[in-house]
Structures are given as structure tokens and as C-alpha cells.
Amino acid sequence: MAVEESRQVIPELEREENLIAAARHIVMALGSKNSLTNDEKKILADLGSKLSSMNIQSEKEEGKIGREKENDIDKEDEVNEEEEEGVGVIEQRLGLIQEKIMKWEEDQSMIWDLGPEETSEYLNAANDVRILIEKLEGMHLNKEDQEYEFLQRAYSVLQTAMTRLEEEFSNLLIQNRQPFEPEYVSFRSSEEDAVDGNSFVSFGDDSFEESLRRDSVSRATEEHVIDLVHPAVIPDLRCIANLLFASNYAQECSQAYTIVRREALDECLFILEMERLSIEDVLKMEWGTLVSKIKRWIWALKIFVRVYLASERWLSDQIFGEGEPVSQACFVDASKASILQLLNFGEAMSIGPHQPEKLIRILDMYEVLADLMPDINALYSDEVGSSVHFECHEVLNRLGDCVKKTFLEFKNAVDLNPSTTPLVGGGIHPLARYVMNYLRTLTDYSEALNHLLKDQEEEDSISSSPDTSPGTEDDNRSQASPGRFPSMARQFLSFASVLENNLEEKSKLYKETSLQHLFLMNNLHYMAEKVKGSELRIIFGDEWIRKHNWKFQQHAMKYERASWSSILNFLKDEGIHAPGSNSVSKTLLKEKLRSFYLGFEDIYRIQTAWSIPDVQLREDLRISISVKVIQAYRTFVGRNNSHVSDKHIRYTADDLENYLLDFFEGSQKLLQNPIRR
């Protein structure tokens, strides 16, 4: 029965062999054309690959049938007869294969440069020797057998063919590498906005906001797969890889692939200008240089992961098969060094000193890596990529720890920021500007910062109160700081309190009580306006704004009382009447007016040099002073007009009101022809 089935199958195999021979004839005919289009070349390459696969399958079926036949015929006479005939056939077949393979060892040309006819012929020869080896190995030969010598020759021929195919494989990968897309490798960086690392209180609003402006490169970049190798050669690469793997040269094929692609990705980093830097190199850099490096790192990491690594994974899947373990292994081996080189810079930045000016940039780095983690997890999803996956998470955690520590260090630095001399003019202190602008900039990172500060709160809670129920602690915190970002709100409110306490201490450096209150009025008003006019309002809440509006208004009232109460006393009628009489003492009246004028001139000389930077606040305070002082002066002079001559009225009410317009401009002035003392 088995013999009959074999006889039925043999004609089908013969028809299949005839079909393959006809197809090869077509390939040779088309290949002889002087010029072929890219599409024709691709079709020919695909056809050659399919023919090779069909040949492999045909040989397997033929071997299977032969084995079945061998089992069903006479095991003595038939086997001896077939062996005698098979030795000659094997020797002749091996000789033809060896001739085809070895002729290319004399020719240094790359086979795939000569067209589909040559490539198809070589692939078939290489596949034929592989099949012949399988047949010979299946015969379980002894060293004394003549076929054993053929097997050793076949091994040598196969090794020669596989070595040549490795070279062709590498050459195809190198010669058909696509140039990096210009839109992905264009980057312009400026170091002009770098924050000076020597002092964190040396910037005004404009320069600070410019220095901490988030880069456009830190925004999302969509994944975009590009052709890293010309699509026309992918079928050839796949065909060579299949044959190398079928011939037990998987390791050599994988190694050839990873070497070429590793070099390509190294070149990509070079084009992106991501130089190899050790941790020591990074720690030695000036901050201005690091700002530029950080910006480029953020931009390059997004491009590298979402464009080039995604494309690299796609290329590996195209050649070795999507989802195949070898595809993932080759991708990981090719890309591991490059991604770790990028991560090394992130790790170095997380190790450096926790200086306040670095917080924004570290947050930028943390956010971009956190944003890319789903992409990285997908690219390095299985065990072979676990080391890369783990290292990415480790660097992300280190950057997060650096953010938390830098934030707390900044808070401590503000708390301990010393001052030995008062700010001239009592205006807005640079520390207040820096801190409020810093906090406002940090609102761009609310999600990430709230997450990190929540972790910090939990760590602090565990270390300080190990017996406290976590649920109760969270409830208390939530009630204390409602809103979308409770942890961030609590830390920011605490930060603002630290700043206020520091400003209180700085106000005591002024000798004049009135200037102390003016200074606090300016700075508390500045803090309230910064919160009210920005995203900080969501964090601090309206109740905080109302409280601080009331605070700076209280300091405004205390300023007025300290500055003007003494000279307003001169505009009261007490003491100008003679004892026991309703008559006015002109001498006392003149003395009161003179004392008032002297007091006003002194205040004018001193407080024109004081500063209220906010235009509206300055105008409001001038109006308040005018209502109290000018109105009291006008009333006093009007009531006593009949008792004093015009020559003793040195300034009219309108004169004094105009003089008030010179107050708080930060430029000292003197009245013309002041009263001689």
C-alpha cells in the first residue's frame, strides 16, 4: 500500500518540478534584460525567494517518499542496488553544487549587485547543498562509508556558501541604508536663556520667565515609522536570513545583522549630536553648557525612541518575522548600547547637586522619559529586553528622586536665605520674584510634580509616624488642601509661608517702621497678584488670595499711620487757642504750619526714593494719602484762613497733591526752596 501511494505522489512532484523549472526559465529570461525597473527587480527577487522555498519543500517531500519507498521494498537487493547508483548521483550532484558555489569565491563582486539571475542561482545552489547534507545525515553514515567523505565536502561547501551569504546580507543592509529624514535631525539650540548657577535671586520677571520657558521640543512627538533600509531589498534580506537559519547559521546571521544596525544607530546618535559623555564629564560641565545639552537630550530621546527605535523594530520584524523571538533579540542587541548611552546622561543629571535652577530642567527630563515609558515598554516587552526596560525605569525613578530632593532643597534655601543689607527703596525683593515665578512655572508640571510630591509625603509620613493609619492621614491632607493637586498645593502653600517668613526677617533690616510696612506691602501684593493672575490660583485657592489681599492692605494702613500720623497732628486745632480764651494764637498757628511743611518736605525727600513697582498699587496709595493728608491740610488752612496771612501759606493743597505724584518712583527728589530750619 505504501509503495502504491508513493507512485501516486511521484507524478505530482514531477509536475511541480516542471513548474519550478519553467518559472526559473522565466526568471533567467527576464534577468537577461539590459535594464529592469525597480518593481521588476522586486518581483524577480520575490519569485526567486519563493522558488527557493518551493525547492526546499519539494526536496523534503522527495526525501519523505524515498524513505517510505525504502521501507516497503526488499531491504537487501533494492538497497544495495540504490546505494551503488546513489553514490554516483550524490557525487555528481555535489560536484555541480560545489562548482557553482566556488566560482564566486574567485569573483570578488557582490552577487546581489549582478541581478536576480545570479542571486537566484546562488541561493538555489546553497539550498541544494543544505538539502544534500540533510539527506546524508539521515543515512547515519560511518567514517568508512564513501558517502561520509561526500558529507564532509558538503559541510565545507555549505560553510563557504553561508559565509558568502553573511557578507551579502551585511552588504545589502549597508548599501541600501536610507538617509535619516531631515525633519527629524534638525535642531536649533540657544544657550542665551541659561540660568546663572551662582545665585537664585538675581533675576527679574522677564529674564526669569525667559530662562524657564519650556522648550517646544518637550511636547509630544507622534510615532512615525520610516524605512531605514530600502524596501526593495527587504525580500532578499528575508530570503537570505531564512536560508541561513535553515542551515543552522542563525547566530552568524543575527550577529551580522546586529553589527550593521548597531553601527547605523550609533551614526544616528552622532547625527543627532548626542556625544558619549561619562557621568564625570557631565558633573564637570558648566550649567550654561548643560542647559543646551539637556534641551538636545530631550529632543533627541523623543526622536530616537518614537521614530528610529520604532522603525528599527519594524525593520527587524520585516526581516525575521513579526513576533518571532529572533526578531526581538536582534532588535535588542542592535539598539541596547544606543538607548543606554542616552540613559547614561539622564542618570548623570540625577546624580548632580540639587541646585534650584536645575529643577525645571530635571522635570523636563523626567516628563519626557515618563511620557516615553509606554513606547519603551512596548519595544522591550519580553525577557530579552528586560534589562533595557529595567534601566529605563531606574533612570526615571532617579530623576524623580532628584526632583523631590531639589524641590525640598530649594525650599530650605529660601528659608535660610540670608540678608545683611536691606533692599534699597523697599520694592519687590528678587527672592520674592524668583520664588513666585518659579512656582508659577512649576504649574506646567502639575501632574508629574503632584505625583512626585505625593510620594514624598508618603515617605515622610511613614518615617515620622509609623503607627499612623495611611487612610486617615490622606483624609486629613485632602481636607487641608482640596483640589486636583492636593500634594502639590500643600507643598506650595508651605513654600509661600517660608517665603513670607523670610520677607518678614528682611523687613527688619529697615530702620524706618514705615519702610518696613511698605516693603511687606509691596511683596505680599506681588505674591497675591502672581497667584491671582496665573495657574497658581488653582493651586493656592481664592481663600489664600483674599487673606493676602487683606494682609498687604493692613501693611498699607500701617505704613500711612507710621509715615503721616505725626505731621497730621500739626493740622489739628488743639493748642492754638490762648488759655481761657477762644482767640487763636497766631504764633502757635504759624508754628504748626511750619512744622507741617518741614515734615512734608522730609517725607518728600525720603519717600520719593522709595519704590512701589506696581502702577495700580502706587496710584491707590497716593490717593489714600491724598484723601487723608491733603484733605486735612485743606480743611485746616480754610478754617484758620483769617488768622494767618498768605505769606505764611507756603504750599497750596494743589501744590501738595502734585508733589505726591513724585512719591514712590524710586528716584530721590528735593522740593525747591525748602524751609530753612
Residue 578 pLDDT exceeds 60? no
Q: Say what the pLDDT of residue 35 is.
A: 52
The partner residues of 229 in beta bridges, in order of sequence, read: 177
The pLDDT tens digits for 443-458 are 999 999 999 988 666 6
Q: Say what the pLDDT of residue 98 is.
A: 82
- Average of per-residue pLDDT values in the chain: 80
Residue 276 CA to residue 340 CA, distance in Å, equals: 10
Name the grid cell of 285. Answer: 560641565
The pLDDT tens digits for 494-511 are 999 999 999 999 999 999
Q: Say what the pLDDT of residue 637 is.
A: 87
CB 501 within 8 A of CB 454: no
Name the grid cell of 300. Answer: 533627541
Residue 399 CA to residue 349 CA, distance in Å, equals: 8
Residues 6+ apart with CB under 8 A from 386: 380
The partner residues of 577 in beta bridges, in order of sequence, read: 584
The pLDDT tens digits for 29-45 are 554 454 555 455 455 54
Calculate the CA dihedral of residues 315, 320, 325, 326 and round it to 10 degrees: -100
The pLDDT tens digits for 587-615 are 888 888 999 999 999 999 999 999 999 99
Q: Say what the pLDDT of residue 55 is.
A: 47
Comparing 310 with 154, the larger pLDDT belongs to 310
Residue 236 pLDDT exceeds 60? yes
Return the minimum-mean-pLDDT range out of 198-212, 351-365, 517-531. Answer: 198-212
Nearest to 407 by CA among 362, 461, 343: 362
Place of cell 553573511: 166
Residue 160 CA to residue 167 CA, distance in Å, equals: 11
The single-letter code of the amino acid at 423 is L
> How many other β-carbons are positioned within 10 Å of the β-carbon of residue 15?
10
Work out the pLDDT band at 580, boundaries 50, 70, 90. Answer: low
Q: State what percent of residues in the chain have pLDDT above 90.
A: 49
Radius of gyration of the chain (CA): 44
Calculate the CA dihedral of residues 639, 644, 645, 651 and round it to 10 degrees: -70
Residue 596 CA to residue 321 CA, distance in Å, equals: 96
Work out the pLDDT band at 353, boundaries 50, 70, 90. Answer: confident
Residue 49 CA to residue 593 CA, distance in Å, equals: 112
Residue 181 CA to residue 179 CA, distance in Å, equals: 6
Local structure of 577: helix, strand or coil: strand
Full-model pTM: 0.74
Residue 270 CA to residue 265 CA, distance in Å, equals: 9
Q: What is the mean pLDDT of residues 509-521?
A: 96
